[in-house]
Amino acid sequence: MLPAAPDASGHLAAIISSSDDAIVSKTLGGIVVTWNGAAERLFGYSADEAVGSHISLIIPKDRLAEENYVIGRIRAGLNVDHYENVRQRKDGTFVDISLTVSPIHAADGTIVGASKIARDIGEQKELQRIAEEPSRAKDHFLATLSHELRTPLNTVLGYVQMLQKGSLPAEQQAKAFDVINRNATALGRLVDDVLDTSRITTGKMRVDLQFCELKRLVDEAGASIRPAAESKGLRLETIIEPGLASQCDTGRFGQVLWNLLSNAVKFTPPGGTVTVTAARHEANVSVVVEDTGAGIAASDLPYVFQRFWQGAGAGRHTTTGLGLGLALTRHLVELHGGTVSVTSDGAGRGARFEVILPSHGLSPS
């Protein structure tokens, strides 16, 4: 004897009950009629709480009008397929869903309600966001690079054209050459930062470590940044313990010091102070660049050395720069076998960057 055919309605109920997707049915007036276990897990409401309630129970207030669109299609006998939307759980949190809605017909063909299948796509959306992040970062970087290159370039071209036309009085020509030199130097640094970033990314950055006196490197970096500091009315102080030395690439470590000093000068308001301190630190050497500037929010500190990051916290936001300087600093310090760290007490309370390098004792006499 053949086994009895399964009860169709019971079979369907079992499928709905065990589905991983939330399956809900409602009247055309929006009253929930059925609510499966997956809907309980997804939205947080039990079937007893949901059945008999209006479907707006899970619709965010700013999206209530979308329900009219769905019901309009259902009344017309049309489906809604894979409609990405947002719903609100019982605890108030939001969930991204893909929604499929189909009309429910009575025996005579009349549309009496709608069945909804909702799938949680939160993880899928997050993975998509992560996958798109590099592309967005690249687009932002290219736009920023274009702006940062164009600004000094336009200044250089403008002054060169005025000099060529002879439209600048003789007493202003010296200033023009100074402006051209300053902006051409800025362009060179931007290009160097981009090329260095490429070298680091491809593993082609190298350093030539030799014995070096830190006082000389600090003095040279200070001399290069002093005009910018004085133009803002900043006090630049250096406190260097005699005889400090390490193994370093003088050009690359000079770049580290210039980046840290430039960063401090940029974010310190007129009348402030930038201090460079170098001293023995246990078995190593510590070089500290400290400022009395804008400070860094605690939430921003973990991101300071990331490429392309420019802080918006603690009043530290700036529209200038590529966001490469501190990332390059970290990589260069690590190539020297050292570490770099940052601390700040918050908005308006300055920042402190410390580089630790292996010590090589006193410089030779």
Q: What ranges do the domains of the chain cover?
A: 8-120, 126-201, 210-358
Distance between CA atoms of residues 261 and 256, nearest Å: 9
Contact indicator for 170, 162 with CB cutoff of 8 Å: no
Q: Do domains 126-201 and 210-358 have the same CATH topology?
A: no
User: What local confidence, expressed as pLDDT, does residue 365 receive?
Assistant: 41
CATH fold, domain 8-120, is Beta-Lactamase (3.30.450)
Q: How far is CA 205 from CA 140, 264, 291, 305, 321, in A?
A: 24, 25, 30, 17, 22
Residue 193 pLDDT: 77
Reply yes or no on domain 126-201 having CATH 1.10.287.130.
yes
Please state, in angstroms and rounded to a whole number, the distance separating the CA atoms of residues 361 and 359.
Answer: 6
Q: Is 341 helix (H, G, I), strand (E, B) or coil?
A: strand
Out of 3.40.630.10, 3.90.850.10, 3.30.565.10, 3.40.190.10, which CATH number does the structure's domain 210-358 have? 3.30.565.10
User: Nearest Cα to 240, choosing from 262, 252, 227, 257?
Assistant: 257
Q: What is the pLDDT of residue 132?
A: 76
Any idea what the Cα angle at residue 249 is, between residues 336 and 296, rounded to 5°?
55
Alpha helices in 166-210 (DSSP H): 170-201
pLDDT in tens, the chain (365 residues): 444 445 555 656 677 766 889 999 999 999 999 999 999 999 999 999 999 999 999 999 999 888 888 889 999 999 988 889 899 999 999 999 999 999 999 989 999 999 999 999 988 888 888 777 777 767 777 777 777 788 788 888 988 998 888 888 888 888 888 888 888 887 887 788 778 777 777 777 888 888 988 899 999 999 888 888 998 999 999 999 988 888 898 889 998 999 999 999 999 999 999 999 999 887 889 999 999 998 999 988 998 898 767 654 333 444 456 677 888 899 899 999 999 999 999 888 899 999 999 876 444 44
The residue written with tokens 């090589």 in the block is 360
Phi, psi of 27 (to 5 degrees): -80, 170
Residue 126 burial (CB count, 10 A): 11
**How many other β-carbons are positioned within 10 Å of the β-carbon of residue 204?**
9
What is residue 142's predicted lDDT score, i.e. its pLDDT?
A: 75
pLDDT on residue 364:
43
pLDDT score, position 83? 86
d(CA 163, CA 171): 12
Alpha helix ranges (H) inside 202-324: 214-231, 250-266
Identity of the amino acid at 321: G
Q: In what order do the strands lie in the sheet with 111-120?
A: 32-35, 22-27, 111-120, 94-105, 80-88
- Residues 234 and 292: their CA atoms lie apart, in Å, by 10
| pLDDT score recorded for residue 327 | 87
pLDDT at residue 310, as a whole number: 65
> Residue 52: helix, strand or coil by DSSP?
coil
| Nearest-angstrom CA–CA distance, 21 and 100 | 11
Which residue(s) pair with 276 in the sheet?
Answer: 238, 289
Distance CA 35, CA 40 (A): 7
Structure tokens at 67: 């329900």
- Cα–Cα distance, 37 to 26 (Å, whole number): 16
pTM (2 decimals)?
Answer: 0.55
Give residue 313's pLDDT. Answer: 39
Q: Position 5: which residue type?
A: A
Q: What is the pLDDT of residue 317?
A: 42
Q: Are 274 and 290 in contact (CB under 8 A)?
A: yes
Please give the pLDDT value at position 2. 44
